[in-house]
Structure 1
Amino acid sequence: MKKRKIAAIGLVVLLISGVSVAYVASPTIHEGQVGEAPELGRAGPFPIGTNVQQFALDNRTEITGWGAVTGNLKETERALSVRFWYPAKAASGKPTQYKHVMRPPGKDPVALSSQGMALSDAEALTDAKYPLVLMSHGFGGWDTQFSNLAEHIASQGYIVASINHADKPIENAASFFLSFGNVLVDRTLDQRQILSMIIDKAQSETPAYAAQIDTDNIALVGYSMGGYGAIASAGAAYDFANDPMTNIPDDAQERMISATQKPLPIKALVTFAPWGGQPDSRVWNAENLAKIKVPALIVSGNQDDVVNFEEGVKWLYDKMTGSDRYMLVYREARHNIVGNHFDLDPDTAFTTAEFLKEPVWRSDRLNSINQHFVTAFLDMTLKGESDKASYLTVPTENSNDSAWPIGFGEQLNGKTAGAEQPDHWPGFQRRWAVGLELYHRTPDQ
């Protein structure tokens, strides 16, 4: 017994000695930033300002209840607001808090707020031109639902414009179909008119940040129905042979066909959980999807039961054969893979949580990963930073297969993988690249 005890003590001493020799603690990584965020998921160097502009879109139509029956459209002028974020001069002040009231059908209104880092109406930087990123939310969403992503992009040296599409409120089944019908018509038309008017503002140099827009380098980002509009805006004209597109009034179809004859002048496309590829309501054919020529990043959950990942999103990715495209997949995620984190009261109706949150993934984790990959993709496609392609060139399609050997007891303290770790997903911490898949296809592939 005595020999065993001595041996155990000796083993402990040996282990402690080994650890003391092998223990290597790197200095604090990214001081002041969220430690678990991947490398490009941390805020950039630019202070940012934010501002809201109003836009009047003429020559537009509206499907009313009576119009849905008769097929006649109401001629209207569509008034929308757009929230901008832009690189600003350093200034003191209270950062913006973004507020919104959700009104779930048949439920009490839910007040939501998200703390931002931008300063309202901060003075714009005027020392350089910055690429423009136009953002388009999903059905029933709003302009600041993804303010975290918008602020992050702006902090990296971009001007971001997020459309508030003002979808019609839903009170019952009839109003749902009426609202959704207008969304089918409005999304790409909104994106097209708003972008054209922003370019006009840039040329007139009003307001000051608009003068800094590099109109030769523009990206379009869309979530869900925003992605549906963005795919058409990027060059894939709609196919009206199937439901629900066949139910759109003829006059509205003609306007949509006319508008989508040419793609928007964009250089990059990002879609989160895009709607419209699923077989039961497919709105494109393969021939039209192949006409998209700009690089694309598609992000989706592999359990998305709203847009049908297996037969919808993957089909879109497969058929966009004219595009140099990437597909980032969150395993065990459903539809809400992008958007701010909101703290909800325990008594809040479940329909609200179901609209905003994921069953498995934390919102902040999704956000930081989205920010990482979107930054790499935009820097590569809009700024011409070819080195950022390394973050999209992963050694294994399944992130769980990443490998990063370390010495016994070695502590990395948040270090992210670089060229010295060729078998690990670039920009991710050791053991932290899990639950993800990333695919890449070149044109004609």
Structure 2
Amino acid sequence: MSHITRRHALFGIGLLPLVGTAATAQVTASTFDVKLRSGRILQVTRWDAPKPTGYILFSHGGNSWPTQYDKLAQVLVGAGYTVLAPLHTDSLKIADAERADLKKAFGDRIEDMAHLGGYAAATANGLPLIAIGHSYGSLFALMLGGALTYVAPVRNAAVKAVVCFSSPGNIPGLINPAAYTSLEVPLLMVTGDKDVVPGFTADWHDHLLPFEGTPVKGSYALIVKEGTHQLIGGQTSAEFGLVTDVTVDFVRAVTLNKETVPMKLSANGAEKAELRHK
């Protein structure tokens, strides 16, 4: 796709790899391989909840990899969700000779998430799926929820909600006014008023485009004061706890078929963040 340039690749298209995400593991991540229709072998990292009430399909940020998000995965598993996360072809964990730039990885990521969504829908025994992504990865979570249909129609009917941590913002040639109008499920968009990426996203408000564009009622935007692009890295425990508490509340409301239940921040949380809703 010509709209993804070398400049975007250098800056991880909105993701600088997370730092400081080490956590004492409550659930050990495992991996398995699946063969895609293209013949490519996709590695998937899995965190299993003992008695899952739903499955999370997680797309990591540009140049990153699943286990950088172990701290987030542990929270989701603790809330009762099994997490599945593919290793995308732009990851720095892939050998240089085999790694794709973000232009090539765009199509690979669509294939990764579409296949993983089909796999999960077939093996989750009817449990709901939730698509979650960070930065660049949020685009592909949104597509499973029905967004960007003009790029590829990969909507997965089993996906009941989408959570985005720092969307990649406004990508010329890709994001247009219709990008998020086709979204079919409730959205939680998480960002912060310091959520910028030098050379790519200069205005943090651009991360709100999916929330502003979706017509779906019961969608929310969480804006954390002083929150950066690393909000789910957990360097500041209070911010990480606030973000994950709201995420779990949102996901539970949707998977329990309570999409209309309004979410509110605690008095303490309201001092640190703003929660907008539709």
Superposed CA RMSD: 2.8
**TM-score, normalization by structure 2:** 0.77
Deviates more, 1:149-158 or 1:283-292: 283-292
Q: CA deviation at 1:132?
A: 0.8
State the AA in 2 paired with 1:86.
Answer: D
Choose the corresponding residue for 1:235, options 110, 132, 146: 146
| Cα distance change on mapping 1:83 and 1:379 into 2, 3 Å | same
Task: Find the partner of 1:312 among 206, 212, 215.
Answer: 206
Is 2:107 the partner of 1:185?
A: yes
1:311, CA displacement in angstroms? Answer: 4.9
The answer to whether residue 268 in structure 2 is matched with residue 435 in structure 1 is no
Q: Which residue of 1 aligns with 2:183?
A: 292
Q: 1:321 aligns with which of 180, 190, 215?
A: 215
Which residue matches 1:334? Answer: 228
Q: Which amino acid aligns with 1:440?
A: H
Give the aligned partner of residue 382 of structure 1. Answer: 255
User: Is 1:82 matched up with 2:22?
Assistant: no
CA deviation profile, 1:64-86 (whole Å, cap 9, x unmatched): xxxxxxxxxxxxx3222222222
Query: What SS is found at the alignment partner of 2:207?
Result: helix
- CA deviation after TM superposition for structure 1 residue 168, in Å: 5.2
TM-score (norm 1): 0.50
Residues 148 and 141 (structure 1), Cα distance of their counterparts in 2 relative to 1, 3 Å cut: same
Q: Is the 8 A contact 1:286 1:320 kept in 2?
A: no
Work out whether residues 189 and 210 of structure 2, in 8 Å CA contact, stay in contact via their aligned partners in 1. no
Deviates more, 1:372-381 or 1:157-166: 157-166
Tell me the equivalent position of 1:409. none
Q: Does residue 143 of the first structure (1) align with residue 66 of the second (2)?
A: yes
**Structure 1 position 142, deviation (Å):** 0.7
1:353-396, CA deviations, whole angstroms, 9 ceiling, x for partnerless residues? xxxxxxxxx2x233211210111001100123579x45x23xxx
| Cα distance in 2 for residues equivalent to 1:50 and 1:144 | 8
1:40-64 CA distance string (max 9 Å, x none): xxxxxxx7564321122222xxxxx
Partner of 2:31: 52
8 Å CA contact 1:132, 1:214 repeated in 2: no
How many residue pairs align between the two structures?
245
Name the amino acid aligned to 1:334.
Answer: T
For the 8 Å contact 2:31–2:43, the answer to whether it is kept is yes
**Identity score, percent:** 21
1:365 maps to which residue? 238
Q: Could you tell me how far apart the structure 2 residues matched to 1:284 and 1:182 are?
A: 18
Correspondence for 1:263: 155
Measure, in 2, the Cα distance between the counterparts of 1:365 and 1:282: 37
> Match of 2:117?
195
Give secondary structure in 1 for the equivalent of 2:37: strand
Distance 1:214 1:133 in 2: 14
What one-letter code is carried by the residue in structure 1 that aligns with 2:239?
L
For 1:87, what is the secondary structure of its paired residue?
coil
Unaligned runs of 5+ in 1: 1-46, 60-76, 89-124, 203-212, 240-256, 342-361, 394-424
1:207-233: CA deviations, max 9, x gaps? xxxxxx343411000000110222222
Specify every segment of 5 or more residues in structure 2 that has no aligned partner in the other structure, as ranges: 1-25
Equivalent pair of 1:132/1:215 in contact (CA under 8 Å): no
Specify the structure having the higher radius of gyration (Cα).
1
SS of the equivalent of 2:221 reads strand
Compute the displacement of 1:300 (Å).
0.6
Residue identity in the other structure for 1:222: G
| 1:267 to partner: Cα distance | 0.3
Q: Find the aligned partners of 1:311 and 1:50 in 2 and give their Cα distance.
A: 34
Residues 138 and 166, structure 2, Cα contact 8 Å, conserved in 1: yes
Q: Which residue of 2 aligns with 1:93?
A: none
Q: For 1:163 and 1:192, locate their aligned partners in 2 and report how far apart those are by CA, in whole Å.
A: 11
Letter in 2 for 1:230: A
Superposed displacement of residue 319, structure 1: 1.3
Q: Which amino acid aligns with 1:336?
A: Q
